Amino acid sequence: MRHAVASLLYGGIRQSAVSGYGVYARLTGNSMDLEPVIHWGDRLLGCIPKSALDLLAVSVPERLQRDVLGLSFRSPLVASSFKDDPRMLLFWHSLGLGAVIYKTILMEKRLGNPQPRIQDLGDQGLINAMGLPGSGVAALLADIQAKRNPVFDMGGPVGVSVGGENPAEYRQVFDVLNGALSRPDVFFEVNISCPNTNEGQSLLAHPELLGDLLAYMRQRTDRVIGVKLSPDQSDDSLRQFGDILKSVPRVYVNLGNTQYRNCAAVGLSQTALSRGGGGLSGTLLFPRTLEMLAVLKPFGVPMMATGGISTPERAVAAIDAGASLLGMATTLVKNPFVVPRMLAAIS
Ligand SMILES: Cc1cc2nc3c(=O)[nH]c(=O)nc-3n(C[C@H](O)[C@H](O)[C@H](O)COP(=O)(O)O)c2cc1C
């Protein structure tokens, strides 16, 4: 009941903010841009006292626990790598997630692409061309070590998505984190499928380089490693990666990232995103997510299904299709209060 009320309130406030910003943008001659609305929403949530948010916290039944590659997830639902605001990650986690994966981190601080770089597509989801903005690995580490990032002090596994413009940068980011993080239940996810940077998919085109990178990482850590693939890959390409992944111990595959679309293909003007296109996320991805699960299942590598997990029915369907874990981004932005209903359906 409390989540149903919160869901209605959240949906109403969110919709009003998106429409309100749309009107403001038209009046001021600016283009619509979802990013200021998201920042405003995050700040608003930050003003709500913790004691009030705690009223919404979900106690997850033990039967929802999943053991994957030796890590114990209190539920199969995971915040996919897309956010680095600890308040939001903690809040989503409190609704019953089994883990969060920290947004892709690169070696240096990065501003990402020029705005506008994220747009709301209503029921169809979101399209973003963020381009991996972030603080850089040294700043992240400094925050963790100074206990300024509570995400790394909460219970249960925490993932960090590792990015790079080339294999050397992936190795450097991994080395910095692996050398400094002490918790054994921190795991890595190698993001080789970002469609919004010039080099974000360079390893997709060179599977042998991913093999080398995984070998490098495996020699240096026992931690779980994930690899995030793309719904834009052909089935043959997915199988090629399946062959590589099955040969490395303690590896899972994440299926997958956003799907590249240009603005016109989703009914937006060419200037709605600064790059003229970006990564589609949300409900439209789900059929491809199911296809990818079917292609990768024979390889026996644990699978995280990400892409369009937006309703209890879809969560159950992805698990029935062989997913051990379910990643979500767009649903957490649009209506995180569906999480308790998903948990009920899964259990
Ligand atoms: C605004 C935004 C930023 C994202 N940033 C990242 C990122 O830094 N690293 C990454 O691996 N995926 C990123 N993603 C992709 C999501 O993690 C997820 O794979 C994708 O959105 C599909 O899931 P969904 O349909 O549940 O949104 C981002 C998605 C969105 C919407």
pLDDT confidence of residue 129: 97
Q: For residues 51 and 236, give the distance between their C-alpha atoms in angstroms, rounded to a whole number.
A: 51
* pLDDT higher than threshold 90 for residue 215: yes
Q: Taking the complete model, does pTM exceed 0.85, yes or no? A: yes
**Boundaries of every domain in the chain:** 61-346
Q: Helix axis angle, 286-296 relative to 312-320, nearest 10°? A: 20
- Could you give the angle at the alpha carbon of 291 between the alpha carbons of 290 and 292, nearest 5°? 90
DSSP-derived pairing of the beta strands 225-229 and 251-255: parallel
- DSSP code per residue over 117-130: -EEE-GGG-EEE--
| Strand, helix or coil for residue 191 | strand
Check if 98 has its Cβ closer than 6 Å to any atom of ligand 1.
Answer: no
Q: Give residue 258 CA to ligand 1 midpoint distance, Å.
A: 6
* pLDDT higher than threshold 90 for residue 157: yes
pLDDT confidence of residue 1: 85
45 vs 137, more confident: 137
- What mean pLDDT comes out for the span 193-216? 93
pLDDT confidence of residue 226: 98
Check if 288 has its Cβ closer than 6 Å to any atom of ligand 1.
Answer: no
* pLDDT tens per residue, range 272-297: 999 999 999 999 999 999 999 999 99
* pLDDT higher than threshold 90 for residue 137: yes
* pLDDT higher than threshold 90 for residue 204: yes
| Strand, helix or coil for residue 335 | coil
Ligand 1 atom nearest to CA at 333: 31
| Strand, helix or coil for residue 75 | coil
* pLDDT higher than threshold 90 for residue 46: no
Ligand 1 atom nearest to CA at 258: 20
Mean pLDDT of the chain: 96
Q: Give residue 259 CA to ligand 1 midpoint distance, Å.
A: 10
Q: Give residue 96 CA to ligand 1 midpoint distance, Å.
A: 20
Check if 309 has its Cβ closer than 6 Å to any atom of ligand 1.
Answer: yes
Report the share of the chain in percent with pLDDT over 90. Answer: 93
Q: Give residue 257 CA to ligand 1 midpoint distance, Å.
A: 6
Q: Retrieve residue 66's tokens.
A: 């999943």
Show the beta-strand stretches assigned E in the chain. Answer: 66-68, 71-73, 77-79, 99-105, 118-120, 126-128, 158-162, 186-191, 225-229, 251-255, 259-262, 277-281, 303-306, 325-328
* pLDDT higher than threshold 90 for residue 30: no
Ligand 1 atom nearest to CA at 254: 19
pLDDT confidence of residue 254: 98
Residues 6+ apart with CB under 8 A from 200: 132, 163, 191, 192, 193, 194
Burial class (CB in 10 A: 0-12, 13-18, 19+), 270: exposed
Check if 342 has its Cβ closer than 6 Å to any atom of ligand 1.
Answer: no
pLDDT confidence of residue 73: 98
* pLDDT tens per residue, range 291-328: 999 999 999 999 999 999 999 999 999 999 999 999 99
Check if 192 has its Cβ closer than 6 Å to any atom of ligand 1.
Answer: no
Superfamily of domain 61-346: Aldolase class I (3.20.20.70)
